[in-house]
Protein backbone atom coordinates (compact mmCIF):
# COMPACT_ATOMS: atom_id res chain seq x y z
CA UNK A 1 0.00 0.00 0.00
CA UNK A 2 2.87 2.40 0.74
CA UNK A 3 4.13 2.02 -2.82
CA UNK A 4 0.74 3.13 -4.17
CA UNK A 5 0.87 6.25 -1.98
CA UNK A 6 4.33 7.08 -3.32
CA UNK A 7 3.10 6.49 -6.87
CA UNK A 8 0.12 8.80 -6.45
CA UNK A 9 2.38 11.43 -4.85
CA UNK A 10 4.79 11.26 -7.80
CA UNK A 11 1.95 11.55 -10.31
CA UNK A 12 0.46 14.57 -8.53
CA UNK A 13 3.86 16.26 -8.49
CA UNK A 14 3.88 16.30 -12.30
CA UNK A 15 0.90 18.67 -12.22
CA UNK A 16 2.53 20.65 -9.43
CA UNK A 17 5.65 21.16 -11.57
CA UNK A 18 3.62 22.26 -14.59
CA UNK A 19 1.60 24.72 -12.49
CA UNK A 20 4.81 26.05 -10.94
CA UNK A 21 6.37 26.71 -14.33
CA UNK A 22 3.22 28.32 -15.72
CA UNK A 23 2.96 30.48 -12.60
CA UNK A 24 6.54 31.69 -12.93
CA UNK A 25 5.93 32.39 -16.61
CA UNK A 26 2.84 34.46 -15.72
CA UNK A 27 4.87 36.51 -13.24
CA UNK A 28 7.63 37.07 -15.80
CA UNK A 29 5.04 38.05 -18.42
CA UNK A 30 3.43 40.52 -16.02
CA UNK A 31 6.79 42.11 -15.22
CA UNK A 32 7.60 42.28 -18.93
CA UNK A 33 4.25 43.93 -19.71
CA UNK A 34 4.90 46.48 -16.96
CA UNK A 35 8.38 47.21 -18.29
CA UNK A 36 7.24 47.64 -21.88
CA UNK A 37 4.28 49.74 -20.80
CA UNK A 38 6.56 52.13 -18.93
CA UNK A 39 9.01 52.34 -21.85
CA UNK A 40 6.22 53.26 -24.26
CA UNK A 41 4.50 55.74 -21.95
CA UNK A 42 1.83 54.38 -19.72
CA UNK A 43 -1.77 55.52 -19.81
CA UNK A 44 -3.95 55.13 -16.74
CA UNK A 45 -6.00 52.41 -18.47
CA UNK A 46 -2.83 50.54 -19.39
CA UNK A 47 -1.53 50.74 -15.83
CA UNK A 48 -4.81 49.40 -14.46
CA UNK A 49 -4.96 46.53 -16.96
CA UNK A 50 -1.36 45.44 -16.36
CA UNK A 51 -1.81 45.84 -12.60
CA UNK A 52 -4.88 43.60 -12.62
CA UNK A 53 -3.01 41.06 -14.75
CA UNK A 54 -0.06 41.15 -12.35
CA UNK A 55 -2.31 40.75 -9.31
CA UNK A 56 -3.99 37.78 -10.98
CA UNK A 57 -0.60 36.22 -11.79
CA UNK A 58 0.51 36.49 -8.16
CA UNK A 59 -2.88 35.25 -6.87
CA UNK A 60 -2.65 32.32 -9.27
CA UNK A 61 0.76 31.46 -7.81
CA UNK A 62 -0.68 31.61 -4.28
CA UNK A 63 -3.37 29.13 -5.37
CA UNK A 64 -0.74 26.88 -6.97
CA UNK A 65 1.33 27.02 -3.77
CA UNK A 66 -1.68 25.96 -1.71
CA UNK A 67 -2.39 23.10 -4.10
CA UNK A 68 1.23 21.91 -3.93
CA UNK A 69 1.14 22.01 -0.14
CA UNK A 70 -2.13 20.06 -0.14
CA UNK A 71 -0.43 17.26 -2.10
CA UNK A 72 2.29 16.98 0.54
CA UNK A 73 -0.10 17.30 3.49
CA UNK A 74 -2.53 14.71 2.09
CA UNK A 75 0.32 12.32 1.34
CA UNK A 76 1.45 12.72 4.94
CA UNK A 77 -2.10 11.98 6.13
CA UNK A 78 -2.17 8.84 3.97
CA UNK A 79 1.11 7.59 5.48
CA UNK A 80 -0.11 8.31 9.02
CA UNK A 81 -3.43 6.54 8.36
CA UNK A 82 -1.55 3.56 6.94
CA UNK A 83 0.74 3.42 9.97
CA UNK A 84 -2.22 3.83 12.35
CA UNK A 85 -4.00 0.93 10.68
CA UNK A 86 -1.19 -1.33 11.87
CA UNK A 87 0.79 -1.56 8.64
CA UNK A 88 4.53 -1.16 8.70
CA UNK A 89 5.78 1.92 6.82
CA UNK A 90 9.33 2.60 5.70
CA UNK A 91 11.77 5.02 7.28
CA UNK A 92 11.37 7.27 4.22
CA UNK A 93 7.61 7.42 4.69
CA UNK A 94 8.03 8.14 8.40
CA UNK A 95 10.54 10.90 7.67
CA UNK A 96 8.24 12.34 5.00
CA UNK A 97 5.30 12.36 7.43
CA UNK A 98 7.40 14.07 10.10
CA UNK A 99 8.68 16.70 7.68
CA UNK A 100 5.35 17.64 6.06
CA UNK A 101 3.03 17.38 9.02
CA UNK A 102 1.31 20.78 8.67
CA UNK A 103 -2.42 20.50 9.09
CA UNK A 104 -3.48 23.05 6.46
CA UNK A 105 -1.86 24.74 3.46
CA UNK A 106 -0.72 28.27 4.37
CA UNK A 107 1.69 30.91 3.12
CA UNK A 108 3.43 30.75 6.51
CA UNK A 109 4.46 27.15 5.71
CA UNK A 110 6.74 28.45 2.95
CA UNK A 111 8.01 31.89 3.99
CA UNK A 112 10.67 32.09 1.28
CA UNK A 113 8.11 31.54 -1.47
CA UNK A 114 5.81 34.08 0.20
CA UNK A 115 8.57 36.70 0.17
CA UNK A 116 9.30 35.86 -3.47
CA UNK A 117 5.64 36.46 -4.38
CA UNK A 118 5.63 39.80 -2.56
CA UNK A 119 8.84 40.75 -4.38
CA UNK A 120 7.29 39.77 -7.71
CA UNK A 121 4.26 41.91 -6.97
CA UNK A 122 6.54 44.84 -6.16
CA UNK A 123 8.55 44.28 -9.36
CA UNK A 124 5.32 44.41 -11.36
CA UNK A 125 3.54 47.31 -9.64
CA UNK A 126 6.19 49.72 -8.34
CA UNK A 127 7.65 50.78 -11.74
CA UNK A 128 4.16 51.65 -13.01
CA UNK A 129 2.75 53.47 -10.00
CA UNK A 130 5.96 55.00 -8.62
CA UNK A 131 8.05 55.72 -11.71
CA UNK A 132 11.65 56.85 -11.40
CA UNK A 133 11.85 60.53 -12.35
CA UNK A 134 14.69 61.07 -14.81
20-55: per-residue pLDDT in tens? 999 999 999 999 999 998 888 878 999 999 999 999
86-108: per-residue pLDDT in tens? 999 999 999 999 998 878 888 88
- Which domain does 76 fall in, by range? 2-129
Domain contains 134:
no
Domain contains 95:
yes
How many domains in the chain?
Answer: 1
User: Is 2:87 a contact under the CB 8 Å cutoff?
Assistant: yes
Domain contains 93:
yes
53-96: per-residue pLDDT in tens? 999 999 999 999 999 999 999 999 999 999 999 999 999 999 99
Q: Phi/psi zone of residue 112: left (φ > 0), alpha (ψ -120 to 50 degrees), beta?
A: alpha
For the chain, how many helices (H) and strands (E)? 4, 0
Domain contains 26:
yes
Domain contains 92:
yes
Amino acid sequence: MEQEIWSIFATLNIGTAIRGLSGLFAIWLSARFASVLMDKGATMLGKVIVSVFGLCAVAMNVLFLMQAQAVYINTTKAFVALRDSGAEISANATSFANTYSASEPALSNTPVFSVMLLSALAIILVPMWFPNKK
